Amino acid sequence: MRVLAGQLVQSRKKTILAQIIFVVILITGGAGFIGSNLAIYIKKKFPAYRIYAFDNLKRRGSELNISRLKEQGVEFVHGDIRNAEDFDVIPHVDVVIDASADPSVLAGIDSSVYPLINTNLFGTVNCLELADKFKAAFIFLSTSRVYPIQTLENCLFDELDTRFVWKDKQNIAGVSSKGITESFSLEGSRSFYGTSKLASELLIQEYNALKGMKTVINRCGVVSGPWQMGKVDQGVLVLWLARHHFKGSLSYIGYGGKGKQMRDVMHVDDLADLVCYQIENLDTVNGQTCNVGGGLDVSFSLVELTALCQEITGNKIAIASVEQNRVADIRIYVSDYSKINRLTGWKPQRSLRQLLTDTYDWMKLNEHNLKNILN
């Protein structure tokens, strides 16, 4: 990291240092949901940082973020992580945040796996090579989907009135009613998407061990919030809210069609708080892989989500019921974030209700542009 001439002050306080150190950050997938929110959050917190948001605009709706990024002083670069030469316009970088991927768990199942693997795996290699060229640190947004589907499905659960929950006592290591820890098994099928992310994680560990790169892997559960372009196969909270707002239709699919499947969810600003901490404290998190999510306190089942969406939007829509499970689906996922909490003190601060009201405010404010994308 380079220090701007003449700006060094005597104080050793990190907060002051953060303002005077000129850090260059590259966020790949920087026009996507997480990437754009991170870029703007970091820029607001550290105005002296130079931030590049790099994106090929493949995800429908990402183009809406370009003007928003520019207004906040983030530099947008149109490029594709599959083409290493597209990075040539980046003169220097201190931290690479890799948030570019096809994030759908259904990708590659009824279609070719090439687009998924070329972006999510070979693209990661290009991002790592770029980081290595500049001796930059690497922050990776991985997924809870690295954990194998059948082992998750074998966890013991109870069926409550509105949701399924994991039992506290389990026959498998790394799971309790609080969720999944990093010691949960990695043996078994996990979807092409999950595999592409786990394979990227393994490569990142090698760059850390063999090339001395500072790295951190955040295995995120569901992340949501404003600017998420929710669709049927990804971004369920925004999809649910949008269908209520625009009066579309929805279905409870699988697990008996009762809508009791359950997930934790993290407000994107909670993730941004954590990434800001990681940028400032790379040595504390270097080489670590951590589960990151809302945890049991910020979790929902689909029927519970329906009730909240009805309350927030004032609309009630018909919801169909399909008993048969969707391929690669899971009954329950909750992140046990104890490890990252022990390491950094981080824990999610925003409730599910806040997440939904923040997202709804954004949806209403941008209704004209979002109508065709979310509806």
Q: Which residues bind ligand NAD (CB under 6 A)?
A: 28-29, 31-35, 55-59, 62, 80-82, 99-101, 103, 119, 123, 141, 143, 197, 220, 222-223
Cβ proximity to ligand NAD: between 189 and 315 the closer is 189
Cβ proximity to ligand NAD: between 194 and 254 the closer is 194
Closest approach of Cβ 328 to ligand NAD, in Å? Answer: 15
C-alpha span between 227 and 113 (Å, rounded)? 27
Cβ proximity to ligand NAD: between 94 and 98 the closer is 98
Cβ proximity to ligand NAD: between 28 and 359 the closer is 28
Closest approach of Cβ 239 to ligand NAD, in Å? Answer: 12
Nearest-CB residue to ligand NAD?
Answer: 32
Cβ proximity to ligand NAD: between 21 and 98 the closer is 98
Closest approach of Cβ 68 to ligand NAD, in Å? Answer: 13
Closest approach of Cβ 29 to ligand NAD, in Å? Answer: 3
Closest approach of Cβ 83 to ligand NAD, in Å? Answer: 8
Cβ proximity to ligand NAD: between 19 and 118 the closer is 118
Closest approach of Cβ 7 to ligand NAD, in Å? Answer: 33
Closest approach of Cβ 198 to ligand NAD, in Å? Answer: 11
Cβ proximity to ligand NAD: between 208 and 335 the closer is 335
